[in-house]
Structure 1
Amino acid sequence: MKTLKSFVFVALCLLVSVTVYAGDKNSFLKKQFTTSNGYKLNYRVLYPENYCPDQQYPVILFLHGAGERGDDNEAQLFHGGDMFASHANRSKYPAIIIAPQCPKDISWSSYRKPEKDGEKRYYPSVTPITKPMAAVKELLDSYIAKGIVDTKRIYITGLSMGGMGTFDLVCRYPNLFATATPICGGANLQRLANFKGKTVFSIYHGADDSVVDVQFSRDAYKTLKEAGIDVRYKEYPGVDHNSWDNAFAEPDYLEWMFLHK
């Protein structure tokens, strides 16, 4: 009987592996999560190639930018989806990738856009968590509750609006994430100065960003460094807002995450 159970278990693992493997962003499964208060959040999830439900895996939470908001449950993978789903990365860095989609006309985190020339984007120091971000946290908690998450290896990354959301969620839950990788994002500096968590940061930004001022990342790096936080920063000369292309191409973009617990 024990041998039969082992055979069934192995067969189940292989079936799950074959089901989710395609090698590009189309291999992400389409899901919808309903929160405890009835809010519905679209998301995509990608399991490791050889996923087995009795094991625990790292989680990478990926937050897209403003341009990928909507309700199609596809646009959030426009940038980075193929990178996460490539056979090489899934083999070398087995993880559960969770990619939620933020609805239109709302953001992962609160900020005020410039209203006239010369003004800068403003990030408040105290603000309620947005509805989609609260749903993201509850979604993540639901995967943890399943017992399939290595809670010492939960990583968060995001670009543009998602980079801002990365800063925001880490500040709200300073003991949850092993690493945070905000790309062309920004945050309130007082929140970063008061950060007491053990999260390690890797920040990326294009020097010629015409959408989100590169100074936000420069200041975030300096503030975190002065606060004694483990942080690194890479800036790309001549690169505009699409610095995520450069970040995703870094040979240690994923490797760096997996070095930390």
Structure 2
Amino acid sequence: MMRSFKIVILWCCFGFGLSGLAQETQGSFSTQITNTYSYGYLLRKPQNIKTKKPLIVFLHGSGEKGTDLEKVKIHGPLKYVKHHELYAYILAPQCPENTYWESESLYQLILKVSQENNVDANRIYLTGLSMGGWGTWNLAIAHPDMFAAIVPIAGFVDRVPLIEDCKIAAIPTWIFHGLLDDVVDVNYSSVIYKRLKACNANVKLTIFDDANHDSWSRVYDNPEIYEWMLQQIKK
């Protein structure tokens, strides 16, 4: 009885082993995924558009999302030009509710506006605050050949810009942040500034010791930032 029991067990195990052998097959797969992005935007045109003019692209923060384009005038260059003159196009797209800035669609929008207007392709500038600062980093990293200068303010920095920071080694960059920012930690700006210093000779960081998250009002109200931007020419 003992011998026959062993034989049965071995046969069962052997049979199970055969049925459990790995198999290898070949195949191929392709798919196409299409996303649609829609932006309302304001475009302010300068005087004398018969000659090429620079373009300033402004990305607002999360508080200005929606469909009311008046919101994109609350902060930034469009607020500044209410009382000052800038001899540049100003493009201010509006991010819809429940979405965030998406780099490829923004790139296509900038191309469209540039082609339809007398924009100097060597003088396109990108700036944004908070969520727009985050969008500025991502868009500049995705398309570093487009911009003559960038000004990110109080922006979160994703892992990709931190790793691939030297993609924007040729772009003059001026970073702003508030030391007391309790929404986006100032260390994001400090860390990417230190990383950029290794490969970008024209990078600056300004930290306002007394500013919380709103470090942008004093930046966008100051003529110096526009003068600095407009002096930069893509090489």
Q: TM-score range by the shorter chain?
A: 0.7 to 0.9
CA contact (8 A) 1:179 1:199 kept: yes
The one of 75, 91, 94 aligned to 1:98: 91
1:25-55 deviations in Å (ceiling 9; x for gaps):
xxxxxxxxxxx9864310011111x233x32
The residue number in structure 2 matching 1:70 is 66
The separation in 1 between residues aligned to 2:208 and 2:170, in whole angstroms, is 27
Cα–Cα, structure 1 residues 68 and 222, in superposed 2: closer, same or farther, change >3 Å?
Answer: same
Deviation of 1:143 (Å): 2.1
Per the normalisation by structure 1, the TM-score is: 0.70
Q: Secondary structure at the match of 2:164?
A: helix
Q: Hey, what's the Cα distance between the residues in 2 that align with 1:51 and 1:251?
A: 21
Say if 1:87 and 1:239 are closer, same or farther in 2 by CA, change over 3 A. Answer: closer
Question: By how many angstroms is 1:62 displaced?
Answer: 0.1
Equivalences, count: 197
- Quote the residue 1:140 is aligned against: 110
Q: Which SS does the other structure have where 1:150 is aligned?
A: strand
2-structure distance, mates of 1:237, 1:76: 27
Percent of pairs identical after alignment? 36
Separation in 1, partners of 2:214, 2:82:
20
Deviations 1:8-27 (A, max 9, x none): xxxxxxxxxxxxxxxxxxxx
Match of 1:112 in 2: none
Shift of 1:105: 1.1
Question: Cα RMSD over matched residues?
Answer: 1.9
Partner in structure 2 of residue 227 of structure 1: 199
Distance apart, 1:76 and its partner CA = 2.0
Give the distance between the partners of 1:95 and 1:82, measured in 2 at CA: 11
Contact 1:154 1:177 in 2 (8 A): yes
Structure 1 unmatched runs, 5+:
1-35, 109-129
Provide TM-score, normalisation by structure 2: 0.78
CA distance in 2, matches of 1:60, 1:253: 12
Structure-to-structure mapping, 1:109-258, within 5 angstroms: 130=102, 133-146=103-116, 148-187=118-157, 188=159, 189-192=162-165, 194-258=166-230
Relative distance call for 1:82 and 1:171 in structure 2 (3 A) is: closer
